[in-house]
A and B are shown apart, each in its own frame.
Chain A
């Protein structure tokens, strides 16, 4: 029994237009190139997120489906205003059919907003869904006023997943449940430390006591005030979402002043292996959320590669260790190929948006479907959640660090490779 979707997929993959007589040829098979716009922060402070861009664009261009696409790439320069400007350029001058955008709300939000107002379909990723969805609302403080988008779609995880993963990791250690928060005064820090939607309510529900010293400014050179407060409150767990230089300053000062918590679960700062290496020997057993790794049991719909092969290909091409955004940026292009395989006219924005909404794709980052699973009703139609697990950085014998998955309670299909260890 062949379903309509499989039939279309096959037609798309082989470009034979098998279904042409029955259903009309999908856009991908009509011969004309489909125009994609891609915006990412290739320079500026967020550029580490985009280091795999060249590799992924090349993979896409060489793939079977990629031959039917023309990708116009723009750099947001890590600047939201610039991101909005290049998005408009892509829409107006390059006349794109579909926008792809990745990495941090500072990039995804201005681009998605531009697409929404110009009625161009947009798929985004690598930003927790709350800052993506709520951040684009006219009044973020009033949930009743929030409206869904018609053309913007997003796949990633949310704050509730990070909180679940972190607390699950801490539950595996014997601690006094005293948590110290390191939340900066930026979009991420304010969301994580939000007294209603962030860490504080969940922690108190689970019996953890949170010491929140307040929103400090990024690029702070001294954390002795925070360290003194944590010491006084006998904090054994540190969490937060600092930028890499600030976490290094904090962690180094902590060691100098004899403050060693049993667990440090940190977002953002220790996302990239280079930032952990910058901590010298003191990065051992720091923990963070893991969105994607080579051991995730997923396969790319674009190239048929397993997650491990995608990561290995990157390492071969660049000589660098894999990073988590690779899988998601890859999946962004999987989405483009999949969606365009299911529409007849790539220039018909409403049809493309409807095709995105109907997506059920098994991608390199897991299943992507806008079915509202695990989401509140207001975000259900625009957001698809991908699985999240927890990992610890372990020092290698020859130098460098490996990210080992130590908690998969939220996504048991992703294998754990070790058990949670306390920092000593």
Chain B
């Protein structure tokens, strides 16, 4: 067993899961909204990237620059007109609405793009790798991990260094008091979802270049994202990265022992964290 390779691949895989989770973590942290359509929104963004890249003949990385503002707008409108109406003391309506949204999105994508398995074409980059002596590391997984770090740093800067971030934190802690201070929670929420959709676009870029996607693949992505958020702790973005890496590592180590245990190991790691630290590894908010 190549221990070093197992660990390196696990950490890199964790980067992908952290990217899936970052947008979810943001929305969950600020408005306690569990977006069950998060995985399907990633797939939607992947299809938008696919169209943009193939119609304009661009690399998917360039296409992401065009799709990101579009997803930002979609996020804003989605929060303003759909999700915003469901927020309240009752936690059930947002769950039901996002669950319905998930099914509607899958079927709309199936209608629009058929069930064909598609992939974003990143050319030679897809199989390129860097030889680091004992391990050979793919360029694309490395880029994925680097992007996850950059996304987390950027979101943290936004959270702790800007006025918008202060409003985010204030609304997250106590929306009613924040409103007394002149903050409009509705606008804050819309902004948060819109920013989450930017992250979703980046996640879609790496989901689509790493392997195939089809309209029905979203929910399977949601599980890892959700687990990473819970492992990391509510509202902690670095925690989400740690959560992603925990699942990634658990999976590759489990697989190195026996590939039959790969997916299961990730879930067991999640359950262990829940058992030992029910609030996650690095909880920020207490409520």
**A interface with B by C-beta (< 8 Å):** 43-48, 51, 78, 185, 213-217, 219-222, 224-226, 228, 244-246, 248-249, 252-253, 255-258, 272, 274-275, 278-282
Contact = CB atoms under 8 A, between A and B. Distances in A.
Contact of A51 (B107, B115, B128, B129): B115
29 contacts: A44-B110, A47-B115, A48-B114, A185-B260, A213-B259, A217-B264, A220-B263, A221-B13, A221-B251, A222-B9, A222-B255, A225-B256, A225-B259, A226-B259, A244-B212, A245-B212, A249-B211, A252-B126, A252-B138, A255-B126, A255-B127, A256-B137, A272-B116, A274-B116, A274-B117, A279-B119, A280-B126, A280-B127, A282-B127
B136 A257 contact: yes
- Using C-beta atoms within 8 Å of the partner chain, give the interface range for chain B: 35 or more
Interface string B204-218: 000000111110110
Q: Which 6 A-B pairs have the closest CB atoms?
A: A47-B115, A256-B138, A278-B119, A255-B127, A225-B255, A217-B263
A222 B262 contact: yes
A45 B251 contact: no
B32 interface: no
Given A213-B259, A216-B259, A256-B129, A43 B107 contact: yes
Nearest to A51: B114
Interface string B178-194: 00000000000000000
Nearest to A282: B127
A43 B251 CA distance: 31
A106 to B, nearest CB: 14
A280 B209 CA distance: 10
Nearest to A182: B259
B16 interface: yes
Contacts of B129: 255-258
Contacts of A278: 117-119, 212
B101 to A, nearest CB: 17
A244 B252 CA distance: 21
Contact of B252 (A222, A249, A256, A257): A222
A244 B262 CA distance: 18
Given A216-B262, A222-B252, A224-B9, A45 B214 contact: yes
Nearest to B251: A222
A215 B117 contact: no
Contacts of B118: 274, 278
Contacts of B121: 280
Contact of A256 (B107, B117, B136, B259): B136
A195 to B, nearest CB: 15
Contact of B117 (A48, A185, A228): A48
Contacts of A221: 13, 16, 210-211, 251
Nearest to A49: B115
Contacts of B210: 221, 248-249, 252
Residue from A78, A253, A255, A281 with most neighbouring chain B CB atoms (10 Å): A253
A36 B117 CA distance: 31
Contacts of A255: 126-127, 129
Interface of B: 1-2, 5-6, 9-10, 13, 16, 107, 110, 114-119, 121-124, 126-129, 136-141, 210-214, 216-217, 220, 248, 251-252, 255-256, 258-260, 262-264
Contacts of A257: 129, 136, 138
Given A51-B115, A220-B262, A222-B13, A44 B255 contact: no
A217 B266 CA distance: 12
B262 A225 contact: yes
Contacts of A282: 126-127
Residue from B114, B126, B210, B220 with most neighbouring chain A CB atoms (10 Å): B126
A264 B70 CA distance: 40
A99 to B, nearest CB: 23
Given A44-B115, A256-B127, A275-B117, 12 more contacts: A44-B110, A47-B110, A51-B114, A51-B115, A213-B258, A214-B258, A215-B260, A217-B264, A253-B138, A272-B117, A278-B212, A280-B121
Contacts of B260: 185, 214-216
Given A224-B6, A228-B5, A245 B251 contact: no
A248 B126 CA distance: 11
A255 B13 CA distance: 17
Nearest to B117: A244
Given A43-B107, A43-B115, A216-B260, A224 B5 contact: yes
A103 B107 CA distance: 20
B2 to A, nearest CB: 5
